[in-house]
Amino acid sequence: MGCIVVYIFFAVVAGGHDFVSVQATAGWLNITAELGIIAVPLSLLMIAGEIDLSFGAVIGAAQVIVALGAGFYNAPIWAMIVLALAFGVLVGVVNGLVTVKTGLPSFIVTLGTWFVVAGLGLGLSLQLTGTSTLTLTSIPASAHDLFAWTVNGFHISILWWVAITALASAVLLRTRFGNWTLATGGDLFAARAAGVPTGRVKVTLFIVTATAAALVGIVQTLEYNTGNATSGTQYVFYAIIAVIVGGVLLTGGYGSPLGVAIGAITYGFVSVGVYYTGWNTNYAQAFLGALLLLAVLANNYFRKLALTVR
């Protein structure tokens, strides 16, 4: 309902400025897709009762790996793509194991990882090349078609997002692992008592989230022919907003990838809609903040209502 209201609002206010045009639709879909690729895996992690803040740094690090290796040292780009994905897996393993083994809040663990990864990516980029922005001079057709293909302004990242959302929905609703995820976030101690491998669930979801972030870094590098260690920072806040607006409870145990996809779409509407209104683009921050507060209040209300009905 919120998503529809936001779209109608901008269609009316900015309709005369072509918000409903094909170009604008491609714009908000492209923004939505790259955010959704991260937000959907993150939603599964948050449903399991944990959170990851380091994925913003992983996006930048993946860009540095691909652009530095293929653009500066002329290494095979497919090798750099695999290396970037492997780095995402490594960060996910570290986040998961430290969180599970120590019992520390994942907020603190991944905040630390965020600074470590961001610092290493930026430091190595500056030390080796003298700049934080690296350029790709040529991209093989196979890699371009898989990660940067565009038709009429619509990027292939949209297909990646749709596929990841469908897969995540099927896993959560149709598999044992999905039941384990919901149980882990709903009541950790009861899940353990029932034999759910909660530690394995959390580590797996940390890996998936970080790998998805690396994928976004790869997509952006090949799409824009550049890589920057700091380019993923903004996604940390926007992805969490999309997850919460999409109906995932901060306490865990409830939510759906489809709802989070709708939350990402809502973000896309706001990001592009404010631009087409001709207003100061800083107002987008105000819209997103208001949406976040309303979503938290609505989620809390409906949760209490559901518990009362039961």
Domains of the chain, by residue range, sit at: 2-309
Task: Give per-residue pLDDT as tens, 21-80.
Answer: 999 999 999 999 999 999 999 999 999 999 999 999 999 999 999 999 998 888 999 999
Q: Which of 9-23, 51-65, 73-87, 184-198 bottoms out in mean pLDDT, i.e. has the lowest?
A: 9-23
Rounded Cα distance between 204 and 10, Å, is 39
Rounded Cα distance between 263 and 254, Å, is 15
CATH number of 2-309: 1.10.3470
Rounded Cα distance between 46 and 39, Å, is 10
Q: What is the pLDDT of residue 2?
A: 80
DSSP structure class, residue 216: H
Rounded Cα distance between 235 and 114, Å, is 12
Q: What is the pLDDT of residue 143?
A: 93
If we measure between CA atoms, which residue out of 219, 221, 201 comes closest to residue 209? 201
The mean pLDDT of the chain is 91
DSSP string, 259-299: HHHHHHHHHHHHHHHHHHHTS-TTHHHHHHHHHHHHHHHHH
